[in-house]
Structure 1
Amino acid sequence: MRQLVVVGSVTGAPGVTTTALAVAAAWPSEVDGGVRPVVVEADVSGGDLMIRFGLPAAPSLLDVAAAAGQPHPGSLLGAVGELPFGVRVVAAVPGRGPCREAVRLLAGEGGQRVLLGDDHDRGTVLLDVGRLTEDVQPLLAAADQMVLVTRGGAEPLTHVSACGLDADAGAGRLTLAVVGPCPYSAEEIAHTLGIRQVLFLPWDAKSVAAMNTLKPGALRTTGLRPLPLMSAARTLACRLAGQPGSGIRAGHVDGDCGTEGSGAPLVGGSRTGAVHVPGVEESGT
């Protein structure tokens, strides 16, 4: 059975799709028997990848959702396409109406069977749900892990505190991925929000540009000097894949899949103590 990882945000557009694609591109090849993860675009607001990469309109998320209603729904792999940098995706069509209905079907029992597969199926599904809504709540409950993407200011972090994911944070299912500049350290965010696993993803125009090009091999994920975003994505991917030595916790860097000195930007600043975010009640980790 496949692992299900939900990637989403509470508010705004902090880069959920970019994060999901980066994690998939940086996924360690030595796990899951070498089976590459699949990014499933399941945003109720509609998809972007089809237009961005010139993908065909079919197969798509709609085909996966249609299979969910069948007595023997089969696998989502029949709707998988491949991006130029080697990431497998199930793209969604543009438009809120059809995508919302497709996500509703995916959230049902049949849809979850399509996503997770049978006992013999291996690999990971990175479910890009965009902004968290009521439509995706059943998928959040079914997920093995969750990556919540946010920006680093006081306002977005306050929204994270108010979103009601305390149980997921306490159970260790939740990783907070903070995108771009942030005035607070990982220790401060973890202490205040009660989230044990906090990771910083840098603004990296070169990675995004390489990701959006149609040239195969343009996105460098490994080597002596990988792109900054891909270095951080590799650390997150290793944590999600359960790689030894890839733990992410406030104030600590374990390296890239157990390799010392990877330089992945997990923590920012060196201050200690709690950050005072307006409207956020302090709590321990």
Structure 2
Amino acid sequence: MPLLAVTYVKGRPGATTSALGLAATAPSDVTPVVLECDPAGGDLMRRHGLAAVPSLVDLAAIARGSTAVRDIFTSTSQPAVQTLTVGDTVVPVVAAPAGGAQTRAALPELTNAGRPVLAPADRLVVADCGRLTPGSPVWPVLRLADVVLVLVRARADELAHLRELLCELLDAGTGRLVMLLAHGGVYPAADVAEVLSAHVVEELAGDARAVTVLGPLPTDRRGAAVLDGELLAGRRWRRLPLLRGYTRLWSDLGPLLPGLRAVQPVTSSEVPR
């Protein structure tokens, strides 16, 4: 199964919220797990009242102690996965401690073994990589990913920061780069795609098709509050605009991720599962 990395380059456009939202709305024939590997520390423990252990630290210990590459997410002797509930959906998560130092120490243990550890055969791993900066310890995770989803608001300042990192993102050899426009932008997706494609071709001598622009995500405080653990999800939580936005994204992300079936676009009257 594939590895989907979620990151951002400026501000706080909701990488953790988006990673959880994508996992909660993932196609029904895959088993997702949210891997919280933000070098600044995790948020899921406090937002959703999860236990301090097991955590990313325990997952790293399992990876370090493994004598063979296997699905470390399903270890029974040393479990590292917890679960949280979004509405009627149980989402497996590997939460990170709030202190970033432990996460930064754990990340090399997970990436040193290579792709088979972070992309097990029966899991869709959605990695919350937090803010991306030059020299960040999450770069090895991005290099292993099938798709790197970069959240950005369509504003001049954030797009300028994104352009500064585009060369490094392309050179990292990531599978596919997808720019997901967060709410609060001022430019339409078509304009952002045109500007980024021109930058890739004219300044970086790259292929304009290397970057895909999706979105924008809708403004939906209630949906964000459900995913952030601030509000209980009602029976129709999947109909909230933000959750519907994540559901629709799978029709574009599915073809880019190996092992996932083609996902049909969701119409305004349909709710999956």
Check whether TM > 0.5: yes
Distance 1:13 1:173, change over 3 A: same
The aligned amino acid for 1:228 is: P
Q: 1:187: which partner in 2? A: 190
Would you say the 8 A contact 1:47–1:92 is kept in 2?
yes
Q: Tell me how far apart the structure 1 counterparts of residues 266 and 48 of structure 2 sit (CA, whole Å).
A: 34
Q: How many residues align?
A: 241
Q: 1:208: which partner in 2? A: 224
Q: Tell me how far apart the structure 2 counterparts of residues 168 and 188 of structure 1 sit (CA, whole Å).
A: 24
Distance 1:170 1:106, change over 3 A: closer
As a proportion of its length, which structure holds more helix? 2
Q: Map of 1:184-263 to 2, 5 A cutoff?
A: 184-194=187-197, 195-213=211-229, 217-218=233-234, 220-222=236-238, 226-242=239-255, 257-261=264-268
Runs of 4+ in 1 over 6 A off after TM superposition: 168-172
1:43 equivalent to 2:29? Answer no
Q: Tell me how far apart the structure 2 counterparts of residues 73 and 172 of structure 1 sit (CA, whole Å).
A: 22
- How far 1:171 sits from its partner (Å)? 8.2
Structure 1 unaligned residues grouped into runs of 5+? 247-256, 264-285
Distance 1:149 1:168, change over 3 A: farther
- Please give the per-residue CA displacement for 1:84-142, whole angstroms capped at 9, x wherever unaligned: 212211100110211111112222125x432222xxx2231000010124312221111
- How far 1:206 sits from its partner (Å)? 0.8
- Please give the per-residue CA displacement for 1:158-195, whole angstroms capped at 9, x wherever unaligned: 11111125638998711111111222111100010123
SS at match of 1:88: strand
Which residue of 68, 74, 78 maps to 1:72? 68
Would you say the 8 A contact 2:33–2:126 is kept in 1?
yes
CA-atom RMSD in angstroms: 2.7
- Please give the per-residue CA displacement for 1:196-241, whole angstroms capped at 9, x wherever unaligned: 332211221111222234887537454xxx1111111011233223
TM-score normalised per structure 2: 0.79
1:127 equivalent to 2:127? Answer yes
TM-score normalised per structure 1: 0.76
The aligned amino acid for 1:15 is: G
